[in-house]
Structure 1
């Protein structure tokens, strides 16, 4: 397989695991339950198949992920993706940044915002609400976190309500964890 990718892109790379993924045909009933697949469903990522080695944790991880990223109300799906991109940029998770930048572009039906973020980071000249979301996710994802009351006020001034702010905190936090896990289990590569 190709070389490791080190620059942000909206082209989703291949994620090459360091750990051998569970073979779906050989998965235990507990692993299949955690994966929520039937024998005829073969479109399961290597990432999830690696996580299936710990079926109990995966059984809780997927509903949590879906609840944070796809629940109704609160922030729009596109804005949640900006939060995920912010965390992924801070954590240098090329794979997650590509996946969620690409999803943002699809949902928002525009590519200028992500191009500006990848080029200029927190100095990106983007719409004020998106800038507040991205900057908050970046500051929350720093180690140690830098988000404070001033950042919360900036979100309110950008028009986010309490439910939207909670969604942003959850999406950025989820990706702070997910990025670090992706780094330890594999790497993005060009084919």
Structure 2
């Protein structure tokens, strides 16, 4: 299979939206209507419909639920761990979502480059320290990590959410890199002004 060109969004065939199963087609069209474009992740993952459904079901369960983590904090976890995994797609796409959800045009760039120097709270820094440990050294997570999070007000469900997001996006980052998924141009300017 040839390498991607600047005009391709990934290495695998992209199905036509009209040819997709109805539930997937409807989801993609709803996203397009809301955002004004179709994020490439939807088109790339539509190559395998059953996996598309499973991926987005778990994504939504982690990222859209109510809880003690704000939606912006959930996006921070994605941006920080995706940067560590060198996932251009997720850093750019979720950076845009973070800017919008945090109502802060600077935050995504700050946390992507070095969250320890970003304008975030000590609580958020502890959250991101734990997410990074889950992302890179989950085998080393221990009781002390839970204690640090507890001192910052996180409960056991919060810890599960942080770990789940970091772990799930580890999968997402790896698939985005293997497929050579390109971020949509639209993501680069979202939430910056």
Q: Is the TM-score greater than 0.5? A: yes
The residue number in structure 2 matching 1:20 is: 13
Q: Which has the higher contact order (CA 8 A, sep 6+)?
A: 1
TM-score when scaled to structure 1?
0.77
Residue 125 (structure 1) shift: 6.2
| Count of residues in Structure 1 that have an aligned counterpart in Structure 2 | 177
Correspondence 1:118 to 2:112: yes
Q: CA deviation at 1:181?
A: 0.7
Trace 1:1-191 onto structure 2 (pairs within 5 A): 16-27=9-20, 31-33=21-23, 35=24, 37=26, 43=32, 44-122=38-116, 124=118, 126-142=120-136, 145-188=139-182
Moved more, 174-183 or 113-122: 113-122
Question: Do the aligned residues in 2 keep the contact of 1:93 with 1:179 (CA within 8 Å)?
Answer: yes
Higher strand fraction: Structure 1 or Structure 2?
A: 1
Q: CA deviation at 1:176?
A: 0.8
Structure 1 residue 171, shift from structure 2 partner: 1.1
CA distance in 2, matches of 1:161, 1:150: 14
Residue 137 (structure 1) shift: 1.1
1:152–1:101 CA distance, 2 compared to 1 (3 A): farther
Are the counterparts in 2 of residues 85 and 100 from structure 1 also a CA contact under 8 Å? yes
Per the TM alignment, residue 68 of structure 1 is displaced from its structure 2 partner at its CA by: 0.7
Kindly report the root-mean-square deviation, in angstroms, between the aligned alpha carbons of the 2 structures: 3.0
Higher helix proportion (structure 1 or 2): 2
Under a length normalisation based on structure 2, what TM-score does the superposition of the two structures give?
A: 0.76
* Structure 1 stretches lacking a partner, 5+ long: 4-13
Deviation at 1:163, TM superposition (A): 1.7
